[in-house]
Structure 1
Amino acid sequence: MIGSSIYLRDRAAFTGGSPQAVYEELWQRGRKGRLRTRAILAGTTLILCGMLVSAIFGIAMAALVASADALVHWRVYKASRVWRLGLRGEDRMSRILRHTLERRGHRVLYERTVPGHGQADQLVFGPGGVWLVHNEAWHPDAEISPHGGRLFIDGRTQSKLVGALTARADAAADLISRVSEVPVKVRPVLAVHGGKLARTPFAADGIVFAPPLRLLRWMSRNPAAAYSPDEVEAITRAAVHALPIGGRITPPAATALSTDAA
């Protein structure tokens, strides 16, 4: 049973009556309806294509329609996985970064604390600038859109979220700039895991929103700076000194040594 996992028992998403648990139950209830609709689509395709072309063509097209319908529903269900597990998506984004930007020479710091402003999920350093990546997963039916330059989710503004993220990026930039002794601008971006985006990517409240892969593509195509490889390395080292790991207040020298050893 969903609520009895010894590994996930303390996660709110697996509590009876939670939005995730209700969504899972409704999805399972709708299985017969989805199969019935798929059978109707495939049967109709088989008859029409069989009459108009040939029986073999009809069978092939019916199989194709059934497969396409199954794929669409699977992708919808898969897209909600992070939210259904009660996660925000930072682990998924970290895996994507390791297999994309890091292999192209970008540097990434994971789970760094910005003192007084919480945790930065990922800090990405590249020739085009520095980005603070935040991750959020919303209900698959949540409407995420910009209006008048502001972010709205299901018709409600998100002042607390965008305010905290902007302040975190500004504070990180200030701390890194002090150590590097050169001005560094940190741009906040938000990786959206689930939900329905009005368009992608889009900017609202000074923050760019997009699903992970599209967000990384946007970052690559919209540089905010022009750093050399040596400058990228120097700024990354400054961030290692300035921002402790995961809430641990570690002396800069110790932090640098642990990073060099890794």
Structure 2
Amino acid sequence: MPGGSIYVKQDEKYTGSSPQWWYEKFWREDAQKRRRSRYVKAGVGFVIGVAVALRFGLTGGAVLIGLLLAGLVAGGDWYYHWRSFQATAVWRGARQGEAITGRMLRRSLGRQGYTVLDGRAIRGQASIDHLIIGPGGVWIVDNESWSPDTEIAVYAGRLFFGEKYGTKDVKPLVETAEAFAELLSRETGVPVTITPMFAVHCGLLPRGGVVSAEGVTLVKPRLVAKLIKAADGDVLTGEQIELLARTAARELQRA
């Protein structure tokens, strides 16, 4: 470590690589601590189970009920920590956010009259992960993932990622939505406004999993289709949807 003392042995926890590498390292190091905690919780569950059984006169099955409750507690604790780790998979590079969101969109919107195009770009300009065209309008969705402890919030109309302004992170997507809308409107003659959204795979969104500011909506991936289907009224007809989808497939190159 630059500037470190040659007389003090450096802690290897603070010499290393990316935040993702540190996260996985600490996760592995904490495995034994999590197991010990799980054993304690399971023990408490066993005692409570036995006590409840005795309280209701189930003397013969007290031990079995205690073991059952201990197993449920241990299983629940394991599942909670497993889900917490899996929630960081996209941020860690273990899974692809666009594949996850694309699958959700097609499953939820495919039979509702919506067309989902993945990985599109205007030639020479920015690309997006998903373009959705349907009765409620047109959306573009990009997938993003911040560190697990990054709080995503809005203050006085400004978007923040932790203590940093979020404008430079969301402005390109807003500009891309405007460029896509201008191209589709020009080529089809159908006036189009495109709503930009971020599917947030990792990061702390407010309760409810949705936040909107500075022209963009950030939302948990599982809620993207729900927001799209909740759009007011039928903005586009079936013929317009087909025309826009054909035009987008022709004019927007695959990213």
User: TM-score over 0.5 for the alignment?
Assistant: yes
Cα drift, residue 233 of structure 1: 0.5
Q: Percent identity, aligned pairs only? A: 36
Letter in 1 for 2:42: A
Correspondence list, 1:14-53, <5 A? 17-53=17-53
Cα drift, residue 86 of structure 1: 6.8
Cα drift, residue 21 of structure 1: 0.9
* Alignment: residue pair count: 231
Matched-pair contact (CA < 8 Å) for 1:88–1:136: no
RMSD: 1.7
Cα drift, residue 105 of structure 1: 2.8
Q: What secondary structure, in the 3-state scheme, does the structure 2 residue paired with 1:191 have?
A: strand
Cα drift, residue 240 of structure 1: 2.4
Correspondence list, 1:30-109, <5 A? 30-53=30-53, 54-85=62-93, 89-109=97-117
Are the structure 2 counterparts of residues 224 and 86 from structure 1 closer, same or farther at C-alpha, using a change threshold of 3 Å? farther
Determine the structure 1 residue equivalent to 2:228. Answer: 219
Mean CA deviation greater in 234-243 or 19-28: 234-243
Distance in 2 of aligned mates of 1:224 and 1:140: 36
Cα drift, residue 114 of structure 1: 2.5
Distance in 1 of aligned mates of 2:126 and 2:163: 27
Correspondence list, 1:69-218, <5 A? 69-85=77-93, 89-115=97-123, 117-199=125-207, 200-218=209-227
Larger radius of gyration: 2
Determine the structure 2 residue equivalent to 1:235. Answer: 244
Matched-pair contact (CA < 8 Å) for 1:112–1:244: yes
Mean CA deviation greater in 235-244 or 54-63: 235-244
Cα deviation, 1:3-47, whole Å, max 9, x if unaligned, reads: xxxxxxxxxxxxx61111111100000000100111001101211
TM-score, normalised by the number of residues in structure 1? 0.83
Structure 2: stretches of 5+ with no match in the other structure: 1-15, 54-61
TM-score, normalised by the number of residues in structure 2? 0.85
Cα deviation, 1:77-110, whole Å, max 9, x if unaligned, reads: 1111111117661222222223221243311111
Mean CA deviation greater in 107-116 or 55-64: 107-116
Are the structure 2 counterparts of residues 100 and 25 from structure 1 closer, same or farther at C-alpha, using a change threshold of 3 Å? same
Are the structure 2 counterparts of residues 81 and 149 from structure 1 closer, same or farther at C-alpha, using a change threshold of 3 Å? same
Q: What secondary structure, in the 3-state scheme, does the structure 1 residue paired with 2:159 have?
A: strand
Q: What secondary structure, in the 3-state scheme, does the structure 2 residue paired with 1:197 have?
A: coil
Distance in 2 of aligned mates of 1:117 and 1:161: 16
Cα drift, residue 52 of structure 1: 3.3
Letter in 1 for 2:205: L
Cα deviation, 1:178-208, whole Å, max 9, x if unaligned, reads: 0011211111011001111123122121211
Q: What secondary structure, in the 3-state scheme, does the structure 1 residue paired with 2:191 have?
A: coil
Are the structure 2 counterparts of residues 114 and 86 from structure 1 closer, same or farther at C-alpha, using a change threshold of 3 Å? farther
Distance in 2 of aligned mates of 1:51 and 1:240: 65
Cα drift, residue 139 of structure 1: 1.4
Mean CA deviation greater in 134-143 or 69-78: 134-143
Structure 1: stretches of 5+ with no match in the other structure: 1-15, 247-262
Matched-pair contact (CA < 8 Å) for 2:147–2:203: yes
Cα deviation, 1:137-160, whole Å, max 9, x if unaligned, reads: 111222112222222111211111
Letter in 1 for 2:51: M
Letter in 2 for 1:244: Q
